Amino acid sequence: MKWKILALFMAVGCLPVTAEAREAEPETVDIPMWIEPMSWDEIRAQRAKMKAAMKASGKQAEKGSSRWKGGDKASGTKKGDGKKRKASSYMRRTYYIRSGVFPMQPGGAMAMKPRSMDYGAMKQPVKPQPNAHAGMSHGEMDHGAMPVSRRPESGRNQASMNNTVLWVTFPDTTVGQHTPKQRGKTSTVSFPSGDGGWYRLFAYNDLGVRDGSWVQLMSHGLVFSHGDEPDERKQDAPTGPGLFEGRPILEIERLCDDHDTCYRAHTGHTLHIRASFKGKKLSNTSVTLTTEKGWSQTKRTDANGEAVFTLIKEEFPDEIDTRKSEMYLLTLEHVVEEMGMLGDEHFHNQRYVATYPLKVYPSRLDWESQTVGFYSLGGVVLVTAGAIAVRRRRRRPEA
Amino acid sequence: MKVYRLRIAVQFVCFILLVYGGLFLIDLGSRLPTFSCAYMDDRGGGCFFIGFQHMMNRPLGEFLGDAGIRLLKALGIFALWAVVLNKAWCGWVCPFGFLQDMMTKLRTFIGVDVSRFAWMTRTRYKSVKYILLVLMILIPLGMANSVFGLPTLPRDWSVAFCQICPARLILPIFNGDFSQIYVDFSGSVRMILTSLGVILTGLFFTTAFVKRRFLCSYCPMLAALSLFDKIGLTSLKKNGQRCTRCGNCSRACPMEIREIEEEKTLSNLVTQDCTLCLRCVEVCPEDKALQATFCGVPIFTATQEGFLKRQGLPGENKTEKEV
């Protein structure tokens, strides 16, 4: 009887999911690329490693921030922005540019193996909680599972990062181009972030013709830096790879209701985005949000090219680590059925795959209690007011 | 002229400007030496302390580079504001000070008597604001630097002063935001700091019925501004020869500063607790005994006639005519 009720529950719980999945079937997306901020701990570790290597090689350790000032040695060339930006290492932001199948496997390794391969000592799958994730579907496997469909037979699960460029729109509205540097197996790029305000990031990688399609990968990001906000500076619309009339060819623009919404995403918040292709709003297009654990939800953009997602909560741990974030990835694919030639190669269509990565932190409601705050405040007021009244009454001279 | 009324009017305008200025696209920057809390959404300017704590959270070596330049620039702006208006920021501009004055008005309206601390008690706790100021420098530094090989302070100490500041809890309420009244249970440090914030907020409401501007006596902003007492362009001067030690000034002073009555030789009377509210000048019955100046030019001087007028008493000349 218990099993029947459970089965009924699951069936009812799955109905809307199935309906939505049928209605908005996710497009085939392979080899997405995304930008991911390097944590402060990683930056410090890297800096310490660099210093140690310098000392070991007998070179004089470069003092303080002099190595990073002005130029852009760490991240390659920068053009399109005439301003010389002075910034010490801490005033830089460093990003990984990753490619592969999202989500990654436990331990941070990229999910490179095809689905059919043995994953070895994989962790036990996390059971989906149907009531907590209304409207979200889950992949066939957990952790290593790939809810986003892909083509393992292609044998190319990671795109080459050689052609990648990163465009950064600085708070003063100027745009700078940065080239990532290959460090081991990862590709990193950094840019100065001394000015306060919002930095818009756009990474672009032209993969060329693959399986008859001209594949172009891109990723967007938005980051805020504390500090004095500079005045806006006029600059001609930048031109270069991945841009169309100064803007990304396929753009996922995050719409911020207020500063806090975009400053740091928490579970329970909404993610409001607008998709556009070559400056025109992209309506009725599938957009998929995938979480680090493999939950995914696909929606279609409305007539304005907009879509809204709720950032679901994946974990229910006993102890909350407020600093622990999880990566969520928004993926959008747009195919233009237009034949042509790219160099010597012929393509049938053009495939644009854009992502918007997002670090999502636990909801403030998990560790903050306004109820306790209000009751404590009331208690303090009552106790101190009572104490003052009693003290005054005792001190009052008797008539 | 009743300076008290003028001050309330100026405070009200500044309150609107700082709490709702953002709605009118007013931005006075984020280096203001006053509690225009950065947690308010519609603020017209930001308190210096939050940025200062963020800026101090750097390894010492980085202060030799751009971090040091940014810090110096921020301190320069703060110092400029402080030199021009001196403690008048506290007495005339601070939105949190204005709220305390309003609470005093409410207390007077209800008819609750005010209390005064014993002089010894006041002296004993005088250093609290300086200790808070020093901690505000040391805690962020301790987060980014290891002292004698000890581990650095955890990130939970981030903007520690803002966590305990009652202005963070109270001022956003005027933007319709009650969300700052909470206790953070993510860690013991956060829990203690936010609980302290709640307790101090409770004290703000109750102590207003006991003493005028109770929290100002422990405010590190007052301590930071008092560093500019001697060089501030706005000043309060006393002519000891004309003072009769009637005690009106110290009784009227919301900060209960006794030096203003007792000091005979010192000409600059902007003491560490003074908020330059000019209440003392207003109630002084002696001609030119007290004088507020800006760049050495008198802007408000105590006069016998003015005193009598403000007290609603007939002046000497008028009395003679009537007789």
B88 — pLDDT class (breaks 50, 70, 90): very high
Average pLDDT over chain B reads 88
Same domain, B35 and B119: yes
Query: CB distance A376–B61 less than 8 Å?
Result: no
Query: CB distance B155–A88 less than 8 Å?
Result: no
- Extract the tokens encoding A161: 């990062």
Let me know if residue B320 belongs to a domain. Answer: no
Distance CA B140, CA A228 (A): 20
Please say if the pLDDT value at position A133 is more than 50.
no
Domain boundary among the residues B224, B241, B262 is at B224
CA distance B64 to chain A (A): 8
Let me know if residue B267 belongs to a domain. Answer: yes
Let me know if residue B319 belongs to a domain. Answer: no
Same domain, B98 and B8: yes
Same domain, B65 and B158: yes
Please say if the pLDDT value at position A274 is more than 90.
yes
Per-residue pLDDT at A343: 85
Let me know if residue B249 belongs to a domain. Answer: yes
Kindly identify which residue of chain A lies nearest to residue B202, measuring between CA atoms: A381
Choose, out of B183, B188, B203, the residue to mutate when testing the contact with A (most A CBs < 10 Å): B183
Whole-prediction pTM value?
0.71
Please say if the pLDDT value at position A109 is more than 50.
no
Q: What is the mean pLDDT of residues A95-123?
A: 50
Same domain, B186 and B242: no
Instruction: Say if CB A110 and CB A102 are below 8 A apart.
Output: no
CA distance A291 to chain B (A): 24
CATH number of the domain enclosing B246: 3.30.70
Same domain, B90 and B147: yes
Let me know if residue B322 belongs to a domain. Answer: no
Same domain, B140 and B162: yes
Distance CA B140, CA B47 (A): 17
Tell me how many residue pairs between chain A and chain B have CB atoms under 8 A apart. 92
Let me know if residue B318 belongs to a domain. Answer: no
Tell me how many degrees the CA angle A383-A385-A390 measures, rounded to the nearest 5. Answer: 95
Strands A181-183 and A326-336: unpaired
Domain boundary among the residues B224, B254, B274 is at B224
Kindly identify which residue of chain B lies nearest to residue A376, measuring between CA atoms: B198
Same domain, B140 and B39: yes
CA distance A90 to chain B (A): 8
Same domain, B214 and B243: no
Q: Name the residue range of residue B114's domain.
A: 3-224
Percent share of chain A, pLDDT over 90 = 24
Let me know if residue B321 belongs to a domain. Answer: no
Note if the bond before B151 is cis, omega within 30 degrees.
no
Q: What is the mean pLDDT of residues A190-205?
A: 87
Let me know if residue B19 belongs to a domain. Answer: yes
Domain boundary among the residues B224, B250, B283 is at B224
Query: CB distance B201–A380 less than 8 Å?
Result: yes
Same domain, B133 and B115: yes
Same domain, B184 and B217: yes
Q: What is the mean pLDDT of residues A102-108?
A: 57
Kindly identify which residue of chain B lies nearest to residue A395, measuring between CA atoms: B115
Of A272, A294, A269, A271, which Cα lies nearest the Cα of A366? Answer: A269
Q: What is the mean pLDDT of residues A257-271?
A: 83
Between residues A22 and A289, the one the model is more confident about: A289
The amino acid at A36: E
Residues 6+ apart with CB under 8 A from A80: A174, A175, A176, A177, A235, A238, A240
Per-residue pLDDT at A399: 54
Query: CB distance A86–B203 less than 8 Å?
Result: no
A26-70 tens-digit pLDDT: 334 457 888 888 877 777 777 777 778 877 776 554 444 334 333
Of A292, A357, A364, which Cα lies nearest the Cα of A326? Answer: A292
B152-172 tens-digit pLDDT: 898 889 999 999 999 999 999
A158 — pLDDT class (breaks 50, 70, 90): low
Same domain, B149 and B181: yes
Of A16-25, A234-243, A275-284, B127-136, the range with the lowest mean pLDDT is: A16-25
ipTM value, please give it.
Answer: 0.87
Count structural domains, chain B: 2
Per-residue pLDDT at A232: 82
Same domain, B47 and B99: yes
B192-247 tens-digit pLDDT: 999 999 999 999 999 888 888 889 989 999 999 999 988 999 999 998 888 888 88
Query: CB distance B179–A381 less than 8 Å?
Result: no
Percent share of chain B, pLDDT over 90 = 54
